[in-house]
Amino acid sequence: MIYLTRKVEFSAAHYYHNPDWSPQENQRVFGKCSNLNGHGHNYTLEVTVAGEVDAVTGFVIDLKQLKDILSREVLDDFDHRHLNKEVPEFAFRIPTTENIAVAIWERLQSHLHPAKLHRVRLYEQPDLFVDYYGE
Amino acid sequence: MKVYLTRRYLFAASHRLHNPALGEAANRETYGKCDNPHGHGHNYFLEVTVSGPIAPATGMVCDLGALDAAVAREILDRFDHQNLNQLQDFVTIIPTTENLAIRVQQILSQVDLPAHLESIRIEETANNSFEYAGAHPPPR
């Protein structure tokens, strides 16, 4: 089994808000992330796929194909967008780094055949990242 | 659903790698310039990885402020701008980054964190890093 990781970046806006809570409660829990005008990050996404090396090509997955999948399934919808307002997964789910990583896993996992999606690592900023293994 | 969250922290400290049971020559050979009697220092980057389900109300694995506060109280306040050799933690243990990583994991595993502690990782320099997940880490 070989693991291959591809890194891409996207920039997006978001805010954290639970509509079931008062403004005070949102402020208490989410702090400055609760500003309803939004704020943004440069996200770094690392997608790791696992598989066997193809005897003919020597590839686990065609990197160009992986790049196209990442662009089509994730970047085209997420890059330079407002996650709360423009990405359907976050119409009713708070776009925390945790939830974004899970949403990216769900978008990618059926497209990587014959490799398998192993890990989604999403950096919100250099000192904070989330890993999701689909468990 | 289990999500792993990693937060990165910085502390600066000095140390000297020296085993009094070994002679001068053996210390020199084993530890090289790290055996300098006056010590030397590093900017240590500490990564703390916790895990858990995503709380539906917050979308989060844990309250980051609470994690930061716990790591600051238990680790950064203890080690930042200190000479590691002078601390109780390293009276009988050589403060290599291996031993520092084990000590940090031990301390954090014994305190209340807002999510389950999975592992810690310390970068001594940009080229050396050490990871510890306890004596019996689950596979990942």
How confident is the model at residue B119, as a pLDDT? 98
Q: Is A41 a catalytic residue?
A: no
What average pLDDT score do residues B66-87 get?
97
What average pLDDT score do residues A2-7 get?
96
CA atoms within 13 A on the CB side of B64: 21
Are A126 and A97 in contact by the 8 Å Cβ rule? The answer is: no
> What whole-number percentage of chain B has pLDDT above 70?
100
For residues B18 and B73, what is the distance between their CA atoms, to the nearest angstrom?
Answer: 29
Residues recorded for chain A? 135
In chain A, what residues touch B140 (CB-CB under 8 Å)?
133
Catalytic residue chosen out of the listed positions A9, A25, A33, A73 = A33
For residues A95 and B55, what is the distance between their CA atoms, to the nearest angstrom?
Answer: 13
Are B81 and B44 in contact by the 8 Å Cβ rule? The answer is: no
Residue A50 β-bridge partners: A3, A116
In chain B, what residues touch A31 (CB-CB under 8 Å)?
65
CB contact under 8 A, A128 and B58: no
> Which residue in chain B is spatially nearest to A98 when comparing CA positions?
B60
CB contact under 8 A, B7 and A133: no
Are B65 and A31 in contact by the 8 Å Cβ rule? The answer is: yes
> Which residue in chain B is spatially nearest to A16 when comparing CA positions?
B58
| Cα–Cα distances in angstroms (integers) from residue B41 to residues A114, B12, B34, B127, in the given order | 48, 7, 10, 15
Q: How many CB pairs under 8 A join A and B?
A: 59
For residues A110 and A117, what is the distance between their CA atoms, to the nearest angstrom?
Answer: 9
For residue range A91-127, list pLDDT tens digits in order.
999 999 999 999 999 999 999 999 999 999 999 999 9
Return the DSSP state at B9. Answer: E
CA A18 centroid distance within chain: 20
CB contact under 8 A, B4 and A132: yes
How confident is the model at residue B140, as a pLDDT? 75
Enclosing H/E stretch for B130:
strand B129-132
CB contact under 8 A, A99 and B8: no
Residues whose CB falls within 8 Å of the CB of residue B136, separated by 6 or more in sequence, listed in order: none
What average pLDDT score do residues A5-15 get?
96
Letter for the amino acid at A56? V
Catalytic residue chosen out of the listed positions A9, A39, A52, A80 = A80
For residue range B17-56, list pLDDT tens digits in order.
999 999 999 999 999 999 999 999 999 999 999 999 999 9
For residue range A65-100, list pLDDT tens digits in order.
999 999 999 999 999 999 999 999 999 999 999 999
For residues A88 and A77, what is the distance between their CA atoms, to the nearest angstrom?
Answer: 10
